[in-house]
Amino acid sequence: MRVRLARDIEKLKKRVLSLGALVEERFKMAVKAAECRDRDMAQIVIDGDVEIDQLEVDLEEECLKIFALHQPVADHLRYIVAVLKMNNDLERIGDLAVNIAERVIVIAEKPGMAIPFDYFTMAQRSQDMLEKALDSMVNRDLTAAYQVCAEDDDVDYMKRAMQTLFVKEVQNRPEDVDYLVNTFLISRHLERIADHATNIAEDVIYMITGEIHRHRGGDFS
């Protein structure tokens, strides 16, 4: 029984790594599409969401099967619980990448209009957080997981700064409100992706230590 449990856990690891890699790829594509205002690339992200959804369902079913067959305890139980939670966060990141791509298709209709928000710095930080969170899962790296949690405040600050700028831009350019809303929404989606990357890092901490680190008010010591 232990041999089969170890084999099923290993299969689970490969599934979650595959999902994580795909989600990370689609997120980067969505950001690139926004940077280049590339409708075709944005459409690829949108059309590919069904693949992420199916992988998320398959992974959840695999976790439930392991629960039913093996009734895992201790480290194995924590790992499967953490994977179930990560699975949900990864699927949501995939959805948010689609949301960014949908905004791109709208703003691409006005290629000559400047984008007033510097959300590419924010995008890079969110991408780095997701990459580090996934690496912390693969390598069981507590230090990296804590770093992701600490960096979330920076992304929140960037989003608040863009919100202030958005209000000013709307006041100065009311005729462009639809365009400005769509560009600003990209920053909201990026901020939510950073939140989900933080959730993944917190789940890694739980997986390794058994401690729940949500709602700790920035105390990651």
State pLDDT tens for residues 44-65.
Answer: 999 999 999 999 999 999 999 9
* Length of the chain counted residue by residue: 221
The pLDDT of 201-205, averaged and rounded, is 95
CB 107 within 8 A of CB 214: no
b (16+ CB within 10 A) / e for 48-85: bbeebeebbeebeebbeebeeebebeeebebbbbbbbb
**Which range among 55-59, 118-122, 162-166 shows the weakest confidence by mean pLDDT?**
118-122
What is 80-98 written as a DSSP string?
A: HHHHHHHHHHHHHHHHHHH
Q: What is the pLDDT of residue 110?
A: 81
Q: Where are the alpha helices (DSSP H) in the chain?
A: 2-36, 39-47, 49-70, 74-107, 119-139, 142-172, 177-209
**Architecture of the domain made up of 2-209:** Up-down Bundle (1.20)
Report pTM.
0.91
The pLDDT of 29-49, averaged and rounded, is 95
Is a pLDDT exceeding 80 seen at residue 218?
no
| Residue 212 pLDDT grade (very low, low, confident, very high; cuts 50, 70, 90) | confident
Percent of the chain having pLDDT more than 70?
96
Q: Is 214 left (phi over 0), alpha (psi -120 to 50) or beta?
A: beta
C-alpha 115/C-alpha 148 separation (Å) is 28
| Residue 113 pLDDT grade (very low, low, confident, very high; cuts 50, 70, 90) | confident
Contacts of 109 (CB under 8 A, 6+ apart): none
Q: What is the pLDDT of residue 126?
A: 95
